[in-house]
A and B are shown apart, each in its own frame.
Chain A
Amino acid sequence: MKADFSGLGIRHVEPVGWVFAVMNFIFLLCAVGLGLFLVVESVPVLRSEGWGFWLGENWWVGETFGALPMICGSLIVTGLAIFLVLPVALSGALFTSEYLSSSIRRRVKGVMELLAGVPGIIYGLLGVSFLTAGVKDVLNLLDGNTLFTAGFLLAIMILPMVLTLSEDALHSVPSEFREASESLGLTKLQTALRVVLPQSLPGIVGAVLLGVGRAMGETIAVMLVIGSLDRVPGFNFFVSGQTIPSKLGREAAEALGSGLHWSALMGLGLTLFVMVAVLTFSGNLFIKRSSQ
């Protein structure tokens, strides 16, 4: 061998291969660089605020930076979205996978997959025009820009994706299991709930987690309907609030590139990154465990 990369499992590489290796290195840099920059750029604000960055309730530019309102806002909005989307998406997935004929199923799936790609800005526009006013009138509020509005909008936004991916998981359960169960006298619904659903649970968890990730990271749609008010909300979800991405979206342009304010925004970014990573990681752990 001309070059020994055996530690990395790389086989003998020709000149063309080096070009590919460089491309791979660029990819590696992008991925690692993303995390690295978030950490490095957050250092100033973490130095000046310490743990108070995550525990502080006040975000006053020039004085103090506390991220708690945004962290709470993100958790509440994402939680609301999942709470709203889960029963609906699962019902839809179960019905589509187990009861619809294959031609109709394909059409439903096609529509869902197409809609899963609708940009966040479109949902933002819909939210601004209809949802905020609707929430305000129906619930008789002073202002329709609330945490609930954002959660509701996110639920609609991630519904197609969660539904179609859960449906994939349900549908991939081999039909022998259904036949075996029905031959024992179980009804179709019992089969679906007791045989098909448990078997596809890892896939469904994966689908839901992707949805959670997308909801937690969505900037534009949330930013337009949440009211952008930095305060730690209690258990009243019908008030204005702020999520990490919506805060970033509101303030990135004015803080651009320098100063403690920018560092604070990078700190928020790092926090968001860690939240999504923890979620994804624990989900993967669950999937691994349950598939053993």
Chain B
Amino acid sequence: MNAITAEKMVLALIGGVTFLIVALLFSILGVMLAKGLPAMHSGFLFDASRDFGRSGGIFYQLTGTLMLMAVAVLWSLPVALGSVLFQTEYLGAGKFKNLLTQLTYILNATPTILFGLVGYIFFGVYLDAGVSWVTGSLILAVMILPTLQVSIREAVEALPEKYRETGMALGLSRPTQIWRIILPQSFYGMVTGVLLGLARAAGETAAIMFTATTFSGIQFPQLFSDPVPTLQTHILVLAQEAANPESIAQAWGAGLVLLGLVFLLTLAAWAFRTRMVMESEL
């Protein structure tokens, strides 16, 4: 009887903790909505910001964020796809392959600000791109490389061996096998990877705040050497003016938009991953 009572108490405890966790996380979402929605006046998404961000909208910050993450994926996708295909299709199991896999994990675990530091030295100084959106997109491209690689690799490796073997037995050359069997079958994995990569790039602040972005002075970059305003930097600067209620209100609005963007990308990625599982079960 005693043991059963103890068990019930422990159960109630961990159940209560779980409930509190879920409640806490929902309250975070609730706060974001409660604080962010009031800032969403009719032109919030489509007006330029005014008065150092204290009024107006976030149009150029939003376009800046979208542009940085999209260009980053453009850089990153060919490298991710090519390197995964090389590793899975051309490289036999061995120390070199293990090393490459380990490097992907190391890159994934590396604190993001280090991409900013090293990326600035390499792209900004050595390649002379300076503090600019080009530097920022390249830094983000390296940062999301492991995200894309992992998704694409999962998709390629989920391809049933029998399809490969059938392609081989029909005498298809390896490029043809890749083009006709591996790429179509891993298409949804690629889309998942791209969406998760976009989400990761959208949420990143540290790596680009001193290498690519600006708070004021530029709306949309005209040159390769121009920095770009982004939502992340906008929120960061406004959040540090905690004493000024107008700034904070605008920061909440921008934060809600950023959060919505990240959630949207993540949910889309899940939808595509589900498709991938269904396709591979055919």
Contact = CB atoms under 8 A, between A and B. Distances in A.
Assess A/B contact in the complex (Cβ within 8 A): yes
Interface of A: 8-11, 13-14, 16-17, 19-24, 26-28, 30-34, 37-38, 41, 88, 91-92, 94-96, 99, 108, 111-115, 117-122, 124-126, 128-130, 156, 159-160, 163, 187-190, 210, 213, 216-220, 224, 245, 248-249, 252-253, 256-257, 265-266, 269, 272-273, 276-277, 280
Contact of B22 (A108, A210, A248): A108
A249 B115 CA distance: 12
A34 B25 CA distance: 35
Given A114-B267, A159-B21, A160-B25, A33 B122 contact: yes
Interface string B36-69: 0000000000000000000000000000000000
B113 A94 contact: no
Nearest to B4: A187
B259 A187 contact: no
Interface residues of B, number: 91
Contacts of A269: 113-114, 117-118
Given A17-B174, A24-B100, A273-B110, A120 B121 contact: no
B203 interface: yes
A217 B113 contact: yes
24 contacts: A9-B91, A9-B94, A20-B89, A21-B86, A23-B83, A24-B87, A27-B83, A34-B114, A34-B115, A91-B13, A92-B18, A111-B26, A115-B25, A117-B199, A119-B205, A119-B232, A119-B258, A125-B251, A126-B31, A190-B7, A248-B117, A253-B209, A257-B124, A269-B118
B91 A8 contact: yes
Contacts of B13: 91
B14 A95 contact: yes
Given A13-B90, A187-B3, A256-B120, A125 B114 contact: no
Given A124-B239, A156-B24, A118 B255 contact: no
B146 to A, nearest CB: 9
A34 B110 contact: yes
Contacts of A41: 118, 121
Contacts of A20: 82-83, 85-86, 89-90
A115 B11 CA distance: 25
B203 A120 contact: yes
B18 A91 contact: yes
Contacts, number: 248
Contacts of B83: 20, 23-24, 26-27
Classify the interface of chain B: helix, strand, loop or mixed: helix
B17 A92 contact: yes
B203 A189 contact: no
Contacts of B159: none
B46 to A, nearest CB: 22
A122 B255 contact: yes
A62 B165 CA distance: 65
Nearest to B85: A20
B15 A163 contact: no
A252 B210 contact: yes
Given A17-B175, A34-B114, A92-B21, A220 B109 contact: no
B103 interface: yes
Given A92-B18, A126-B31, A252 B117 contact: yes
Given A129-B248, A156-B24, A224-B240, A96 B18 contact: yes
A38 B118 contact: yes
Given A34-B118, A38-B118, A91-B18, A24 B113 contact: no
